[in-house]
Structure 1
Amino acid sequence: MSVQGKYEWVIVDGIGPFFRGYEKRRINWSKIPLAELPVDGAGADRYWAGVCEDMVEFVGRVRAHGYTAVTLDDVAHLVSREGHGDGLSLRVSRLQLEMRRVIGIIKEAGLKVLMTSDVIPMTENQRRGFAGDREAMSKYFKDLLGEFLESFPEVDGVVLRLGEGDGKDVKGDIANELFIKTAAEANVLMGDLLELFDYHERYLICRTWTVGAYPVGDLIWHRKRIQRLLSGITSSYFILSLKYGESDFFRYLPLNQAFHETSVAKVVEFQSRREYEGAGEYPSFIGWQVEAYARQLESAENLVGFSVWVQTGGWHAFRRRSYMGKGSYWVELNSVVTVLVMQHGMRVDEALTKCYGSIKFDAVKQFLELSEEVIMKGLYVEEFAQQKWFFRRVRIPPLLHVYWDSIFFQHPMKKVMKHFVHNKQGAVEQGYAVLENFDRMEQLAQKIGWGTEDVCFMRDTFAMIALSREYLFMPFDQALKDRVMKAKREYKLKYPRSVRPRYRVKTNFDRMAVSHEKLRLLQRVFLRKKRGYRFIDHLLTLYLLGMVYRLFHKRYEKSLPKFARKSAMGIDAVLK
């Protein structure tokens, strides 16, 4: 495939090679685990030789699909700083050496390299030394980036993530502080940094993704917040990076209107390895979704490209590495179709014909349409997914009862979902109805030559998800509990972790004593349908609620689901 096309920036994440031999049962796929990689001895030599071997394959395959740039992690682990200590200095020194080799492989293939950074990374000693002096911290961060740009002239730019830090499970000497609290602070920082990037003629790509922490936490959707961030920015080396929707990489989301309301250079982010939809373990085709967004983006001013996450995102056990070895067929199909649609202006039908030829086209399209229906109606509860709710600074995800690699059979989730879904019988019936698609999907997969292993896994998983809907929306009794526990045992036996990563089936039938009337009151007070804040939000949810949580969270923390407490940044980040 020719790399020539509509956009200069066609970006793919290159973290996959660094997870070679990574043995954790449940993996944090948010970034390369740089603090855990081997840096000493023969084992480290073998590991890094393997990373380079994998990167050669990765780069060759993504370049053939039309990508022009690769992102790697991260700036802070590639710059030596005073006070790092012997252990961290050794790690940084080895990472500098090895990352130069990796960057060289990418550049030799004719691709650009972008390095990521959160705002801002520090050691504990640095944090104590700054003692909250924000001016000194800003200067430190600018110096850090300046030293990086001087040391790595072969890198084409830096991707900054403003509103999210490391997950609670991330270990190591360097941790990321949520430094930016307001759009005004972000604007000052961008202006200051752009002097540096303009001087070095390198690109600064600012991601608007935030998790709701602090007033800047609504940057992804709040029009005035984005305008404040961009005020006075005219640099030709600045690019704004926006996810396609107002939340994370889910379905049922309208296009983020910031694409039409800003004039700076922009890229749109897609995710082909669907972190909430099986992470490449089964077909979750996004071609039609991308096509719909592409048509709407035709009128967006100054769109200069797009990025596709083929590995990054999510906390789960699924471990296929895209574009290496067997990889993930479904991720790579999403990836190449996204490039064909966005970069070459193809319709999905044209893209599929280019990939499979006219002889297989009908079978491929029918298979993908059937699997699309399974995702849209069997994974998402359609009635709930179509609702728009905001809590504080975040849009409530359209998918709750299945999250990352977990299917929830838990009473608090039952209470919440029953409250928001009125056609309960219809939701249950729809969940079971899509299971009828799998016989035909299996036949088509065999005809196309794809094999049926992933389709069978998808069928068994979605049968469990359909049962979870029955639990969520139907009256609960001992017979239903017995069916759930029997299905859970059979699913675990059929897919032992030693053979294939699978979903975790989380059961907790302890009742939560909250009436429908109380839930309705909580909904009216804390949730809203419109983006704009109400008076009660300014008074209660944005300020007092966070204060109350910080005072009493230890008393009630264990009542929250473990994934909300322990994964990503935890629920407390949303309440800052």
Structure 2
Amino acid sequence: MRKVIFVVISLAIGVFIGNHLNHFLAIKIKDKKLPQPLKNINETTPRTLKLRMVDMGGVGIVTNPKDWGNSYSHNTRRFENVFLTEEPFVSREAFEKVFVDYCKYIDHTAALGFNAIEIPGFLKLVDFKLLGSGREVYAPDSVYIKRHEVLRHFYRRFFDYAQQKNMQVFLKTDMVALNGALKKYFHKNIGSLDVENKKFWTVYQKGLQELFTHFPQVRGMIIRVGEAGAVYNRPGYDYGSELLVRSITSVQKMLRAFLEVAEQNKRFIMFRTWSVGVGEVGHMHTNPHDYKKVLGELDSENLIISTKLCQGDFWNHLPLNPTLFRGKHKRVVELQARREFEAFNVIPNYLGPLHHTALNSFLQHNENIHGIWLWTQSGGPLRRGPMMTYPFHGLWLWTDANVYSSAMIAQNPHEPVEKWTRSWVAQNFGEDEKVITTMCELLQDSHQITAQGLTIPTFARKYIVGLGLEVPPVIYCYWDIVDSSTSIASHLYFVSRNNIDETISEIFALLHKIKEKRKAFSIIKPKITKGRHWLPAIERSLAYQENLFETLAYHKKFLLKFYQWVDNGGTKDNWRKAIESYHRARKTHYEKYKGNLDFPAYNFTLADFGSHQALKSLWVIWLARILVIAILTILVLYYKGKDFLASTAVIATLLLWLFTSFTAPTFSCINTIAFIIYFVGLKKWIVPRTHFSKTMLPLIIFSMFICVILSLRGPFYFWLNFWTNDSFRLLLCGVSSLCILGHICIVLTNNFHQSCPKLLMVLGVLLVFYGSVFTIGGFENMLACFNDELLAIPGMTSRILGITTHLNIPTVLPYYVLYMGATLCALGIIPCLRKGSIK
């Protein structure tokens, strides 16, 4: 009877865990309301947007070929050769060169009708002299004081020239902005970086007042709280930021403190709602309810809320941002001219129609739309894209089309966008009617072509919730990273599985459109009378687009056909032919563009890793079947023998390597060591030889269960069902719970008073081992390494904010594991020492 009760309880625990896992991983699919061109625009009340702001473009960004193409850092390293870490703190020669570019950029954007510029800076310009005695943060002879005085002098030249050209200046900073001295001050006076403490924000409040006093030219401060940390900080430079403002309370206290200063000085605080799903305020960017919850109580004429135009990041296939259709605050719409998720705009990618639709839609519903903020350069990992800085270096032509049209639309939102498209083409290519018509058609179709080429359209057109969050429509190809993680590939297939052939046909039909555009351009090329210096670059751009999209098309075909086989079985010829075509296309892509800084090759590393694992599926399946036979043989021949424990250990180790297709050496080696620690502990200290068979039986059954799954269609079959099948997850959790708890129960029922402390000690050693591995190797680094080997979750998660931030995992977890392991060891070793039972 007790065995029946134990089985029922174990299964109940498994089902409980399975249900929670199903709730977290449940896939929800629904249609999206994507932006459509407006038919009726109110022309009787045209509204020129008051604020038309740009970023700094390519000003101060060094285009060094030796330093391009290797990093996913989001730090643009603007001014890195101008502002020095040591005295004299500024290279005058470098500054003068940058200042010339700055003046050209101001002249260029002001001529287009922009009237404001965003310049990064805050912490490097203030000394916190209004705080207490004025020496609270920096000593009078501090290197910070000396540096800031020099920097203020040079920044003032930026501000003065912008003011001469009637360009308002907004400074930009991440919060929490920190350096070494400021951290010491907080820990000394507050005890920690407590962002919910009013005293914490008083420090920044004093700094902001000092800034406004120093610089009457500065119109306001832009604040972002949603992204910060190492990926944005400049290595070796004692100024950076930390992602700490995650709660509603901290946001409100921060803004109230800053607004108090802004109101006194008649300046503005521009708060960005960008929050990337992190913390309590993680969805204020796209969710009107959360937006109101966070910002609804704030009411100030000096507050401007800045928000991206779409319901997410600057991805394609997204609805317009619902928070921009309502609200009492002044609103600024963020636009990106150099689209980071669309080949960084090195291919034709015209956003005029989208921006026209978005701005007019918002204006029709929200009278508080105050302006736009156009990013001509900002966004994403700059040096992973083409070596292009607007408007100074590389192929910035396609970006310029977006800059021009956005400027014109902001000043004349009621005018048809076709007017500005035609105007830009005529200015850049001449007045020939055939040239204008062909180039306008190329531009008008370009964004749709680009969006389809870089996504799997049937997936991108749907609103997908999975993995506990909204899945980006561009997740298949994020920046230049072509993904092959089992979680994403399973979702891509799951959404498309009812029309795989139609999806593949649509993917390849796009290549025909691109070829037609190339042919049309070659016909009009001789008739182009202006901007002929652009023609070679345009031809290379169109050729690059065709090659890239063809390579991606073959990879998409392989991915969909392979998962179709994993799901349904049948012939393997379709996906094997597709994988060969993909490998040929990728090889050609690398031969043409690897090392090319103007048209860089995409990163197919993870895609190749996935295809190599797929090719191993066939022999992994047969090895799994052989292992099933081996397990059955061991159960028959050695179940009562002395070699049963060793056999179980060997099977578990083989299964681990087999489950990872022998392609995860770090993950497999670390867990193999853990297995050895556990099985040696069982043999030496806990389980009598006569009980080996009974103790190991649940683990053998669990190994058999996993082997049977692998023997069907390999590890991908396990992962496909894990990510998409509720029933499978319930079964997996039920069997796992039954076998693991059964094993522990059997261990403890053999002389409980002796076995329990020894088991605690062995488990403690295991926890210390894992805690040490993750502490020494670095928690984030080890998670990223494991993920790249296992292809579990998207590779981009470790390349943006990091897996710990995305999944909200405490970074101190390895230390907790170490402490817990040490505690278990102590709890286990003390009774054993008293009894003298450790031998």
2:511 aligned with 1:435, yes or no? Answer: yes
| CA drift at 1:363 | 1.2
Q: Which moved more, 1:351-360 or 1:243-252?
A: 351-360
1:508 aligns with 2:590: no
Alignment of 1:464-483 (within 5 A): 464-475=551-562, 479-483=577-581
Question: Per the alignment, do residues 137 and 28 of structure 1 end up closer, same or farther by CA in structure 2, a change over 3 Å counting?
Answer: farther
Amino acid at match of 1:255: L
1:25 maps to amino acid: G
CA contact (8 A) 1:409 1:505 kept: no
CA drift at 1:409: 5.0
Q: Indicate the SS of the match to 1:18.
A: coil
Deviation at 1:283, TM superposition (A): 0.9
1:370: Cα distance to partner?
A: 3.8
**Equivalent in 234, 243, 247 of residue 182 of structure 1:** 247
For residue 317 of structure 1, what is the aligned residue in structure 2? 385
Question: What amino acid maps onto 2:461 in structure 1?
Answer: Q
> May I ask how many residue pairs the two structures share in their alignment?
550
- In the TM superposition, what whole-angstrom CA distance separates every residue of 1:444-478 from its partner, at most 9, and x where no partner exists? 33426452121111111111111221122113755
Q: Secondary structure at the match of 1:173?
A: coil
> Partners in 1 of 2:72 and 2:211 — Cα distance?
26
Q: Which of 212, 216, 219 lines up with 1:156 in the alignment? A: 219
Written as runs of structure 1 = structure 2, the 5 A alignment for 1:354-503 is 354-357=423-426, 359=433, 360-390=435-465, 395-408=470-483, 413-422=488-497, 423-446=499-522, 447=524, 449=528, 451=535, 452-475=539-562, 479-498=577-596, 500=598, 501-503=600-602
- 1:239 corresponds in structure 2 to 304
User: Taking every aligned residue pair, what percent have the same amino acid on both sides?
Assistant: 18
Residue correspondence of structure 1 range 100-249 to structure 2 within 5 A: 100-128=156-184, 129=187, 130-132=190-192, 133-134=194-195, 135=197, 136-168=199-231, 170=233, 171=235, 172-249=237-314
8 A contact 2:89–2:147 mirrored in 1: no
Which is worse superposed, 554-563 or 378-387? 554-563
Write the mapping of 1:333-348 to structure 2, written as runs, cut at 5 A: 333-345=401-413, 346-348=415-417
Which of 767, 783, 803 aligns to 1:571? It is 803
Pairwise CA distance, 1:228: 2.7
Superposition deviation, residue 486 in structure 1: 3.2
Residues 194-203 or 354-363, more deviating: 354-363
Match of 2:112 in 1: 65
Tell me which moved more, 558-567 or 110-119: 558-567
Contact 1:71–1:113 (Cα < 8 Å) also in 2: yes
1:53-86 deviations in Å (ceiling 9; x for gaps): 1111111111122111110112122223534896
Flag the 1:383–1:313 CA change in 2: closer, same or farther, 3 A: same
Deviation of residue 87 (structure 1)?
A: 5.8
Name the TM-score, length of structure 1 as normaliser: 0.87
Contact 2:459 2:473 in 1 (8 A): yes
2: CA distance, partners of 1:442 / 1:161: 41
1:84-117 superposed Cα distances (whole Å, 9 cap, x missing partner): 8966555544433322222222222221111101
| Aligned equivalents of 2:352, 2:73: Cα separation in 1 | 23
Q: Which amino acid aligns with 1:505?
A: F
Between 398-407 and 228-237, the greater mean CA deviation after superposition: 228-237
2:59–2:78 Cα contact (<8 Å) kept: no
Match of 1:56 in 2: 103
Give the Cα–Cα distance (whole angstroms) in 2 for the partners of residues 208 and 372 of structure 1: 26
Please tell me the root mean square deviation across aligned C-alpha atoms, in Å. Answer: 3.1
Counterpart position of 2:91: 44
Give the conservation status (yes or no) of the 8 Å contact 2:452–2:507: yes
CA contact (8 A) 1:168 1:566 kept: no
Q: Return 37-46 or 465-474, whichever deviates more.
A: 37-46
1:137 Cα deviation from its structure 2 partner:
2.1
Distance 1:491 1:555, change over 3 A: closer
Structure with greater proportional helix content: 2
Paired residue secondary structure (1:214): coil
Q: Please list every run of 5 or more consecutive structure 1 residues that lacks an aligned counterpart in the other structure.
A: 526-549
Q: From the superposition, tell whether residues 317 and 505 of structure 1 become closer, same or farther in structure 2 (CA, over 3 Å).
A: same
| Residue matched to 2:700 | none
Could you tell me which amino acid in structure 1 is paired with residue 161 of structure 2? I
1:28/1:105 CA distance change after superposition, 3 Å: farther
User: After the TM superposition, which of the residue ranges 162-171 and 34-43 deviates more from structure 2?
Assistant: 34-43
Equivalent residue number for residue 368 of structure 2: 302
Structure 1 residues 182 and 339: alpha-carbon distance in aligned structure 2, compared to 1, 3 A threshold: same
Report SS of the residue matched to 2:306: strand
Paired residue for 1:535? none
Provide the C-alpha distance between the structure 1 equivalents of 2:727 and 2:483, rounded to a whole number of angstroms: 21
- Cα distance, 1:20 vs. partner? 2.4
Tell me, yes or no, if the aligned pair for 2:425 and 2:440 is still in contact at 8 Å. no
The separation in 2 between residues aligned to 1:28 and 1:306, in whole angstroms, is: 27
Structure 2 Cα separation of the partners of residues 202 and 445 of structure 1: 49
Offset, 1:384: 0.9
Q: Supply the distance in 2 between the matched residues of 1:566 and 1:89 (Cα, whole angstroms).
A: 36
Q: Which residue does the alignment assign to 1:25?
A: 69
**Structure 1 372/565 Cα, relative in aligned 2: closer, same or farther at 3 Å?**
closer
Distance 2:492 2:111 in 1: 44
Contact 2:126/2:211 (8 A) holds in 1: yes
Please say which of residues 48-57 and 351-360 is displaced more in the overlay.
351-360
For 1:485 and 1:398, how far apart are their aligned partners in 2?
25
TM-score normalised by length of structure 2: 0.61
How far apart in 2 are the matches of 1:43 and 1:138? 30
Q: Deviations over 1:383-404 (max 9, x none)?
A: 1112213468963211112111
> Are 1:31 and 1:73, in contact at CA under 8 Å, matched by a contact in 2?
no
Counterparts in 2 of 1:27 and 1:554: CA distance versus 1, 3 Å: closer
SS in 2 for 1:389: strand
Deviation at 1:405, TM superposition (A): 2.0
- 1:261-307 CA-to-partner distances (Å, cap 9, x unmatched) read 31211111111100000112111111221122123112212111111
- Structure 2 residue runs without a partner (length 5+): 1-45, 129-136, 529-533, 563-571, 615-714, 730-773, 789-793, 809-839
Match of 2:331 in 1: 266
How many Å separate the matches in 2 of 1:304 and 1:473?
A: 45
1:533 matched residue in structure 2? none
The answer to whether the 8 Å contact 2:273/2:284 transfers is yes
Q: Are 1:247 and 1:395, in contact at CA under 8 Å, matched by a contact in 2? A: no
Distance 1:221 1:498, change over 3 A: closer
Contact 2:61–2:79, Cα closer than 8 Å, also in 1: no
SS in 2 for 1:221: coil
Q: Partner of 2:518: helix, strand, or coil?
A: helix
- Measure, in 2, the Cα distance between the counterparts of 1:522 and 1:57: 59
* Greater shift in the superposed pair: 28-37 or 208-217: 28-37
**Cα displacement string for residues 103-156 of structure 1 (whole angstroms, at most 9, x for unaligned residues):** 222222221111101111112453352432442321222122222222222111
Describe the shift of the 1:159–1:353 C-alpha distance in structure 2 as closer, same or farther (beyond 3 A).
same
